Amino acid sequence: MKTSSVKELLASEKFLQEVNVKGWVRAFRSNRFIQLNDGSTINNIQCVVDFENTDEALLKRITTGAAISVNGTLVESQGKGQSVEIQVTNVEILGDADPDEVSKTILQPKRHSLEFLRQQAHLRVRTNTFSAVMRVRSALSFAVHQYFQQNGFYYVNTPIITGSDAEGAGEMFRVTNFEANKAPLNEEGQIDYTQDFFGKQTNLTVSGQLEAETYAMGLGKVYTFGPTFRAENSNTTRHLAEFWMIEPEVAFNDLDANMDLSEDFIKYVLQYVLDNCPDDLNFLENRLLQEEKTKPQAERSEMSLIEKIKFVVDNNFKRVSYTEAIDILRNSKPNKKKKFQFPIDEWGADLQSEHERYLVEKHFKCPVILFDYPAKIKAFYMRLNEDGKTVRAMDVLFPGIGEMVGGSQREERLDVLKEKMAALDIEEEELWWYLDTRKFGTAVHSGFGLGFERLVLFTTGMGNIRDVIPFPRTPQNAEF
């Protein structure tokens, strides 16, 4: 008999059909009612056992966490909370779960702290919260590819091992084939990377942008969606050492077209989740409401989770120059009353999350795109404006998160790009291939980067980025 998913059966109206379903026992009460879940939905299906005609030894093996196969008849449910249930004719135990062992794990049916769940990351996807988060993550991932594929973009796989630092930040994980403490030294007493596997110093990538730019200058519209790495010793709720980045690059797009693309893309993927994950979003919204009840009133969100997502989908993004934003922030009540942790005193300040959230949540009350930032606080590859002090950069700001997207029009002029690299001591030899694209048919082009986990964080309402990726990599933690 064909095995059906719990999701299929709960949506079925074909009563009295014989069905088979496999899954894990979430609960078993009165030796009669099995709550079964297979991961296809947040909801369980109730399987009703005729315990008087079932072997007692078998009943004892139907425990929380056990994997079972159920044959039975799908019928209209007599109980509350579900429309259908299965009248069981046969139960097969596929994998036992010792109740004493289960009691030490997060499979025990009670509320657990998120910290405890992280300690058992190999099991946490069996809980309602994490199964919902990971289904939403999967839907978002699919929507990312669908959006770009439907809009004529080509998917490019950029290198994970690279010899360049796209951000100029220097916080990279080194890749080497040398044995620890046995690296050969050159005449200057420094590690001789010419003898290493790649013949030069290499690292895990912080971004696929520079390589994607080269492909945009041949394929027109491309995007990357892959893992990136930052060796930042940061233990905040917003940082991971390993995360996924979405980076489109488009030939002939200026900054305005780049802003249009980012807004259209974000609205598309969020609408996809609203349309395709209603049960999971409702569960996560209710979870967030319960969590917010424990917070002081001032710290509670003004919007529910689904309202927040619709807020982004339904509102036009307000476009504001950095200069205008600085004036707003400088004259704001929190700044005048010294409520900001980082006061805004002058033009040129690097905006913090508290400033970005003020602009979105308090001042404009809609998503905001800031543009034309000071050149001194942005990367070398961003196009210099005619004023000589700002660049064609943009950031998309979200409620509750702050910066969601960072992008720019890229510097297409070879002479200006060389000047900017020289000012930052970036050697031309290191990026000769990147400079080549400015020699052979250079053109205006733009792109942006979006940290996928931040998007999942926003969409699920979770408070810590470690809870929206299956196995988080953070300082002092590479478990699992």
What is the percent of the chain where pLDDT is above 70? 99
The Cβ-side half-sphere exposure at 388, using a 13 Å CA radius, reads 1
Reduced to 3 states, what is the DSSP secondary structure of residue 348? coil
pLDDT for 370 equals: 98
Q: Which CATH superfamily is domain 128-171+206-467 in?
A: Bira Bifunctional Protein; Domain 2 (3.30.930.10)
Output the CATH code of domain 6-101.
2.40.50.140
Cα–Cα distance measured from residue 81 to residue 35, given in angstroms and rounded to the nearest whole number? 12
pLDDT greater than 80 at residue 351: yes
Q: What is the mean pLDDT of residues 109-127?
A: 93
Strand 45-48 to strand 67-76: parallel, antiparallel, or no bridges (unpaired)?
unpaired
pLDDT greater than 90 at residue 62: yes
pLDDT greater than 70 at residue 167: no
pLDDT for 168 equals: 58
Strands (E), 118-265: 154-155, 161-162, 174-175, 202-204, 221-229, 242-251
Q: What's the whole-number average pLDDT of the chain?
A: 94
Q: Tell me: the pLDDT tens digits for 225-260?
A: 999 999 988 888 888 999 999 999 999 999 999 999
pLDDT greater than 80 at residue 165: no
Q: What is the mean pLDDT of residues 433-438?
A: 96
pLDDT for 233 equals: 87
pLDDT for 82 equals: 82
Cα–Cα distance measured from residue 94 to residue 66, given in angstroms and rounded to the nearest whole number? 8
| CATH 2.40.50.140 in the chain, residue ranges | 6-101
Q: What is the mean pLDDT of residues 298-317?
A: 90
Cα–Cα distance measured from residue 405 to residue 23, given in angstroms and rounded to the nearest whole number? 39
Q: Which H/E stretch holds residue 414? A: helix 414-423
Q: What is the mean pLDDT of residues 393-414?
A: 95
The token pair that represents 26 in the structure block:
């979430």
Rg for the chain, CA atoms, rounded: 27
The token pair that represents 374 in the structure block:
């000071």
The residue type of 2 is K
pLDDT for 169 equals: 56
Q: What is the mean pLDDT of residues 84-106?
A: 96
Reduced to 3 states, what is the DSSP secondary structure of residue 363? helix
Instruction: Bin 450: left if φ > 0, else alpha if -120 < ψ < 50, else beta.
Output: beta
Q: Looking at residue 390, what DSSP letter applies?
A: E
pLDDT greater than 70 at residue 79: yes
Q: Nearest-CA neighbor of 219 among 159, 157, 156?
A: 156
| CATH 3.30.930.10 in the chain, residue ranges | 128-171+206-467
pLDDT greater than 70 at residue 91: yes
Q: What is the mean pLDDT of residues 416-439?
A: 94
Confidence of residue 170 (pLDDT cuts 50, 70, 90): low
CA angle 339/345/346 to nearest 5° reads 150
pLDDT for 192 equals: 93
pTM for the structure as a whole: 0.95
Q: Tell me: the pLDDT tens digits for 323-346?
A: 999 999 999 999 999 999 999 999
The token pair that represents 28 in the structure block:
């078993």
